[in-house]
Structure 1
Amino acid sequence: MTTYEKLTRPSRFTDPATWGAFGSQWHSGEQKTLQCCSVRQETHDVKTFTFQCADFSALSFEPGQFITLSLVINGQAIARCYTLSSSPTRPFAFSITVKRVPGGVVSNWLHDQLKPGDNLKASGPAGSFTPVGHPAAKLLYLCAGSGVTPLMSMTRAACDMVANLDIVFVHSARTPADIIFHGELTRMQADMPGLRVIDICEGLGDASHWQQPMGRLDLPLLSQHVPDFKEREIFTCGPQGYMEAVKALLREAAFDFAHYHQESFDIAVLNEEPLIEQAAPLDQQSVFTVTLARSGKTFSMPGHQTVLSAAKKAGAIVPSSCSQGVCGTCKTALLEGTVDMNHNGGIRQREIDKGLRLLCCSKPTSNLVIDR
């Protein structure tokens, strides 16, 4: 059993029997009311928001997973995914770390409006970007910008459990002032013998002294500072361009990608930019009827579209966020009919067996009746 797998087994952290005085366990897929406990400024454009469940439930999650916030901003209901930056070993208070995105509706609202004592709704954890199930004693974490958050959760968990792991944590940032969690990672490195932190900055900014690497991560730099990188399990998170560059340098090094893992979608982009579906040629379209069981509303849709897209065009209110089959926000019971669903971990097999489907990645193959 790996160190991380122990996080999901009953223990003094996760045994529900120990929670009687506090409340129940918050499982994946459930929606809870959260209360903001604190707001901490990490850098000039990054804040950490710490929450607790209003009913004192403990959040059961794997390091690297995310929750989905359900917000109402200017009268509009909006759902957004945010990675948990805290450790699952501390399940009663958990955090997200958010970078302000210029023009971003949700990130700016969180930075400007959310304060301690405020309540909001959130759906339970999801996501497959986690070291649980990947046994390895030697790990390499590669991240850029706010992509540090899932890897910080993994590192905090390892530190809390006094794990006997060899972790190299490589964080790329614009300047030293943009390095998120710099102080905490420096302290953790001093306390955890198996942790080595390497910060790479493109420029100095206002810093007068900088002893760590300058520039961008490339194969020569990685080979110099982590010469055994090909022997490590690699986890990567950051902007899409950064992750593509990492994959390119690893391909150049003939790295075995069976030991490579990356966040399956760019949360920062999807949080602020809707995806656009490509229309199929008219002669390739099949048309199906969709009935919303609760409202009785019926609409027609072509078979090349997702049910979520068609439902929203028809005026149905369906919570959604990632549009990639990852977050689970649009999970809905399919009462009649069949769909072709291609998800990315946002739904469990037992939920599928019960008739649930993710509307964002489901295309109809017959007429449908859904629980909306």
Structure 2
Amino acid sequence: MNASIQPALAFWTDDEPLECVSTLPEVPNVVTFTFQSPTGALFAFKPGQFITLELPVPGGPLHRTYTISSSPSRPTSLTITVKAQDASVGTRWMLDNLRPGMRLKAIGPSGTFSYVNFPARKYLFISAGSGITPMMSMTTQLYDEGRDPDIVFVNCAKRPSEIVFRDRMEHMASRTTGIELTWVVERTDRYHPWTGFRGMMNQLILGLVAPDYLEREVFCCGPEPFMQAVREALYGLGYDMDRYHQESFQAPLPDRSDVPDDVTLDDAEMAEVEFAVTGTTVKIAQTETLLSAARDAGALIPSGCTFGVCGTCKVKKTAGEVHMVHNGGITDEDTEAGYILACCSNPIGKVTIEA
């Protein structure tokens, strides 16, 4: 067929919902959901990025952020792999209620946690539990390129039966010389011999599985205590921490090194926030966020992490000044265009936003 008359490819945007087309149980309380575009559009994103879903839980919509576990090299569908914790609300709703044929509103993809942003010759991917999802996406992308990558892939789990994607990862590793797999478990399963590492991730294991760690770009994802242990292990081994990257949807440790010294928020100082869409205005203290003001005014601003990582609460500011301290959830291009994150922006004086 003449390339000039081929139809142009259409790519999905979050103006369109996602349709669930299949569900796959992985390990206990972990399920992979596969989505497609109702119009057949393809998916374009960077491996390692995340998406925010609007979940119709009882009591009102709930926004939750999940890393995409599929690879952009397989663009006809998009998957997320979620784990329901004891206190889960949104994820538990998904496991109990989300079925093929249902459609969800989504926001994204977003995030900068991707090897595409930090290209290197060698990679070290370290994860724990469901933190394996961005590593799966990135490894699949590198595998699908057809060249032998150079990846040391380490995943930690409570026991072998709880290792997510174990079969898929071992299949990829069996078909290339460029993926070195290591599983680390805290304890074994009864009646199933285990010949891999046992214990917690530490400097000894790191040195054994990746003796050339100083030459590798490191990506880490998992619970904050796990990532802290990895950071401390690398730092103690003399690793260049400028080449360390991590992903977490838990509140990061406070870092105010880049906050201007001349900005001081005052509980006693009031600000006025106007919501252009609803036509309402509220007065709040400078120390309150625009997201809090929106809730007081009954204005709908979707939110996810609430500490400036996921970017779900991005909204356009049309007038006034705010003080925003985020954690990577918005780009410089967006801020130059007038957008802010409502969850981490404090109004100064009178502010108008499109909500």
Do both share a fold (TM > 0.5)?
yes
1:325 matched to 2:308? The reply is yes
Query: What does 1:1-372 correspond to in 2, within 5 Å?
Result: 24-27=10-13, 30-266=14-250, 284-372=267-355
Query: What is the CA-CA distance between 1:142 and the residue it aligns to?
Result: 0.5
Please list the CA deviations of residues 57-101 of structure 1 after superposition, one character each: whole Å capped at 9, or x if unmatched. 222110100011012111411111000000011122010000011
Aligned-residue RMSD, C-alpha:
2.1
Query: SS of the counterpart of 2:99?
Result: coil
Q: Which amino acid aligns with 2:325?
A: N
Are residues 54 and 20 of structure 1, via their aligned partners in 2, closer, same or farther at CA, if it must alter by over 3 Å?
A: farther
CA contact (8 A) 1:238 1:266 kept: no
Q: Which amino acid aligns with 1:77?
A: P
Unmatched segments (≥5 aa) in structure 2 = 252-263
Please list the CA deviations of residues 290-332 of structure 1 after superposition, one character each: whole Å capped at 9, or x if unmatched. 1111222111111122211232234332211011222221111
Measured in 2, the distance between the counterparts of 1:73 and 1:64 equals 27
Please list the CA deviations of residues 129-180 of structure 1 after superposition, one character each: whole Å capped at 9, or x if unmatched. 1111312111100000000000100001011112332101000000000000
Query: What is the CA-CA distance between 1:282 and the residue it aligns to?
Result: 10
TM-score in terms of structure 1 length: 0.87
Are residues 47 and 227 of structure 1, via their aligned partners in 2, closer, same or farther at CA, if it must alter by over 3 Å?
A: same
Q: Which amino acid aligns with 1:325?
A: G
* Percent identity for Structure 1 against Structure 2: 40
Q: Which amino acid aligns with 2:12?
A: W
Query: What is the CA-CA distance between 1:194 and the residue it aligns to?
Result: 0.4
Measured in 2, the distance between the counterparts of 1:284 and 1:73 equals 34
Measured in 1, the distance between the counterparts of 2:43 and 2:344 equals 27
Query: SS of the counterpart of 1:95?
Result: strand
CA contact (8 A) 2:266 2:285 kept: no
Query: SS of the counterpart of 1:365?
Result: strand
Measured in 1, the distance between the counterparts of 2:65 and 2:331 equals 18
Corresponding residue of 1:14: none
Measured in 2, the distance between the counterparts of 1:19 and 1:260 equals 46
Corresponding residue of 1:270: none
Are residues 196 and 314 of structure 1, via their aligned partners in 2, closer, same or farther at CA, if it must alter by over 3 Å?
A: same
CA contact (8 A) 2:148 2:176 kept: no
Query: What is the CA-CA distance between 1:19 and the residue it aligns to?
Result: 12
- Pick which of 43-52 and 283-292 moved more: 283-292
Are residues 135 and 23 of structure 1, via their aligned partners in 2, closer, same or farther at CA, if it must alter by over 3 Å?
A: closer
Measured in 1, the distance between the counterparts of 2:212 and 2:185 equals 22
Measured in 1, the distance between the counterparts of 2:8 and 2:87 equals 39
Unmatched segments (≥5 aa) in structure 1 = 1-16, 268-280
Query: What is the CA-CA distance between 1:104 and the residue it aligns to?
Result: 1.0
Matched residue pairs, number? 341
- Pick which of 326-335 and 309-318 moved more: 309-318
- Pick which of 207-216 and 172-181 moved more: 207-216
CA contact (8 A) 1:32 1:124 kept: no
CA contact (8 A) 1:189 1:196 kept: yes
Are residues 207 and 25 of structure 1, via their aligned partners in 2, closer, same or farther at CA, if it must alter by over 3 Å?
A: farther
